[in-house]
């Protein structure tokens, strides 16, 4: 009998890891499985959240959490919460009942979440006072109880600030899973998982506060992808000037000319107390403050590089902004007598979880993607339709998607969670269901 002809798949080495990314909406939730000898598995869950305003969010996130329970047998080795934003942590609270059933070996967060770290305490204080300012400003809009009851919350929704109390409580649920969470610092030695021939490095958040506060590309030499800043400015500008894009629905908005002829507003606004008026200038300042607050929180993202040695590096960039990326240049560790640097890890990156849903200021060009010479797969957790609804029409940024396509075209592919995998991606091994996409490394 002739020897059976070898199929191409029989030549393939078994995968070292599988990354499952959920397609539940605009937000992040990943399940990484590392494979060891004798069917050993090390399972890492990274984030679990969906953007505020997602319909039926509780049911959506419960389905995701239940799928994690089913895929892991109800127990994971490591849970990572990258940063305190609703679209990364909401599920821990929204699917609390299912999350309570999940056994967790270890919890990792960025050093910025460490309740005992002096720099982290200072940063939180700054953030809280900025938030208090926004809340006070929003409260002023309620005009001494004369406004609609929903007004305050709609303003804070727009600012992404209303959920802060709940993002904090969602993080508490994560923290409570273990006696001592680890607060990761780029200075920490990488964590070796010998049985899985893996090492996990912390790239960010940066310890350098200047880098932590650098969220935007430099104006003179932008580090990110084409027309980025102009696009961002345009969308913010539109949101402020276009009456259709105001934070309040028409039902709660009172046009100036109507207010001027209403005794209630006449008494309170167009008089000696004129300073209390809240006008477009106030909107500008508050929006700017809110955006800065949001970008700063994104920049506290815990960025992990999972080094699978000869199989390459999996890079989970969370929502890291410009300064977080730039700081990786200075990361270095001593491993087995050899130096490993941030740029080394980028050069060996084969899988990239695209930063901040493919936004304009979260994937660097020269210091980022162009260094990923070995890149095979890029996964963008995004929901463009929801982004449009949120007036974030620029995610994912076209020029970035084009650059990712180009970088992966030889052997790999780009996956967007809001689209079915392309024929090429499917041929090259991408899998998808209604609930998730999956990639073997």
The footprint of Zn ion (CB under 5 A) covers 87, 319
β-bridge pairing 313-316 and 349-353: parallel
Residues 6+ apart with CB under 8 A from 60: 24, 25, 50, 54
- Of 308 and 401, the one with the shorter C-beta distance to Zn ion is 401
In whole angstroms, the minimum distance from the beta carbon of 27 to Zn ion comes to: 6
In whole angstroms, the minimum distance from the beta carbon of 180 to Zn ion comes to: 27
**Cα distance between residue 190 and residue 335, in whole Å:** 8
Q: What is the DSSP letter of 363?
A: S
In whole angstroms, the minimum distance from the beta carbon of 170 to Zn ion comes to: 14
In whole angstroms, the minimum distance from the beta carbon of 110 to Zn ion comes to: 14
In whole angstroms, the minimum distance from the beta carbon of 46 to Zn ion comes to: 12
- Of 42 and 159, the one with the shorter C-beta distance to Zn ion is 159
Task: Specify whether the CB–CB gap between 62 and 98 falls below 8 A.
Answer: yes
Query: For residue 74, how many other CB atoms are within 10 A of its CB?
Result: 12
In whole angstroms, the minimum distance from the beta carbon of 381 to Zn ion comes to: 8
Handedness of CA 323, 380, 160, 226 (dihedral sign): positive
- Of 69 and 320, the one with the shorter C-beta distance to Zn ion is 320
Write out the H or E segment, with its range, that includes residue 79.
strand 75-80
Residue 136's alpha-carbon distances to 24, 129, 218, 308, in angstroms, are 34, 10, 32, 49
In whole angstroms, the minimum distance from the beta carbon of 197 to Zn ion comes to: 31
Q: What is the DSSP letter of 198?
A: E
In whole angstroms, the minimum distance from the beta carbon of 319 to Zn ion comes to: 4
The alpha carbon torsion through 402, 390, 386, 353 (nearest 10 deg) reads 50
- Of 307 and 383, the one with the shorter C-beta distance to Zn ion is 383
- Of 113 and 319, the one with the shorter C-beta distance to Zn ion is 319
- Of 355 and 429, the one with the shorter C-beta distance to Zn ion is 355
Task: Specify whether the CB–CB gap between 71 and 77 falls below 8 A.
Answer: no
CA 240 to chain centre: 24
322-332: b or e for each residue (b if 16 or more CB lie within 10 Å)? bbbbbbbeebe
- Of 77 and 319, the one with the shorter C-beta distance to Zn ion is 319
**Cα distance between residue 51 and residue 215, in whole Å:** 20
- Of 87 and 344, the one with the shorter C-beta distance to Zn ion is 87
**Cα distance between residue 405 and residue 377, in whole Å:** 9
In whole angstroms, the minimum distance from the beta carbon of 357 to Zn ion comes to: 6
In whole angstroms, the minimum distance from the beta carbon of 16 to Zn ion comes to: 27
Per-residue DSSP letters for 90-143?
HHHHHTHHHHTT-EEEEEEEEGGG-TT-HHHHHHHHHHHHHHHHHHHHHHHTTT
In whole angstroms, the minimum distance from the beta carbon of 29 to Zn ion comes to: 11
- Of 354 and 369, the one with the shorter C-beta distance to Zn ion is 354
- Of 86 and 265, the one with the shorter C-beta distance to Zn ion is 86
- Of 299 and 408, the one with the shorter C-beta distance to Zn ion is 299
Query: For residue 264, how many other CB atoms are within 10 A of its CB?
Result: 12
**Cα distance between residue 61 and residue 55, in whole Å:** 11
């Amino acid at each position: 009998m002739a020897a059976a002809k070898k199929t191409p798949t029989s030549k393939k080495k078994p995968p070292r890891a599988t990354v499952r990314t959920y397609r539940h909406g605009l937000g992040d939730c990943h399940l990484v499985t590392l494979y060891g000898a004798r069917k050993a598995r090390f399972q890492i869950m990274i984030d679990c959240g969906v953007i505020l305003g997602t319909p039926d969010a509780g049911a959506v996130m419960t389905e995701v959490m239940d799928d994690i329970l089913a895929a892991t047998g109800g127990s994971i080795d490591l849970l990572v919460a990258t940063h305190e934003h609703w679209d990364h942590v909401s599920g821990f609270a929204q699917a609390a009942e299912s999350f309570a059933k999940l056994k967790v070996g270890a919890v990792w967060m960025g050093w910025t979440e460490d309740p005992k770290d002096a720099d982290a305490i200072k940063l939180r204080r700054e953030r809280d006072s900025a938030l208090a300012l926004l809340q006070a400003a929003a409260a002023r809009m309620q005009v001494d109880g004369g406004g609609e009851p929903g007004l305050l919350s709609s303003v804070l929704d727009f600012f992404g600030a209303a959920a802060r109390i709940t993002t904090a409580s969602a993080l508490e649920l994560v923290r409570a899973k273990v006696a001592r969470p680890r607060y990761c610092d780029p200075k920490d030695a990488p964590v070796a998982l010998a049985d899985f021939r893996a090492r996990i490095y912390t790239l960010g958040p940066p310890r350098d506060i200047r880098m932590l506060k650098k969220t935007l590309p430099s104006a003179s030499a932008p580090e990110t992808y084409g027309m980025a800043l102009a696009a961002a400015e345009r969308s913010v500008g539109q949101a402020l000037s276009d009456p259709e894009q105001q934070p309040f629905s028409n039902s709660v908005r009172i046009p100036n000319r109507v207010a001027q002829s209403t005794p209630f507003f006449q008494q309170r606004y167009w008089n000696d107390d004129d300073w209390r008026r809240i006008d477009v200038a106030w909107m500008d300042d508050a929006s700017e403050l809110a955006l800065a607050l949001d970008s700063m929180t994104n920049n506290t993202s815990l960025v992990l590089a999972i080094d699978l040695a000869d199989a390459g590096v999996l890079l989970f960039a969370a929502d890291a902004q410009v300064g977080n990326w730039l700081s990786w240049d200075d990361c270095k560790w001593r491993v087995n007598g050899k130096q490993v640097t941030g740029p080394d890890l980028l050069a060996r990156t084969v899988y990239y979880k695209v930063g901040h849903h493919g936004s304009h200021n979260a994937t660097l060009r020269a210091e980022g993607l162009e260094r990923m010479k070995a890149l095979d797969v890029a996964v963008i957790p995004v929901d463009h339709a929801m982004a449009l609804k949120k007036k974030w029409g620029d995610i994912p940024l076209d020029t970035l998607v084009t650059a990712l396509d180009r970088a992966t075209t030889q052997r790999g592919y780009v996956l967007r969670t809001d689209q079915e995998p392309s024929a090429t991606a499917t041929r090259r091994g991408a899998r998808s269901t209604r609930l998730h996409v999956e990639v073997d490394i």
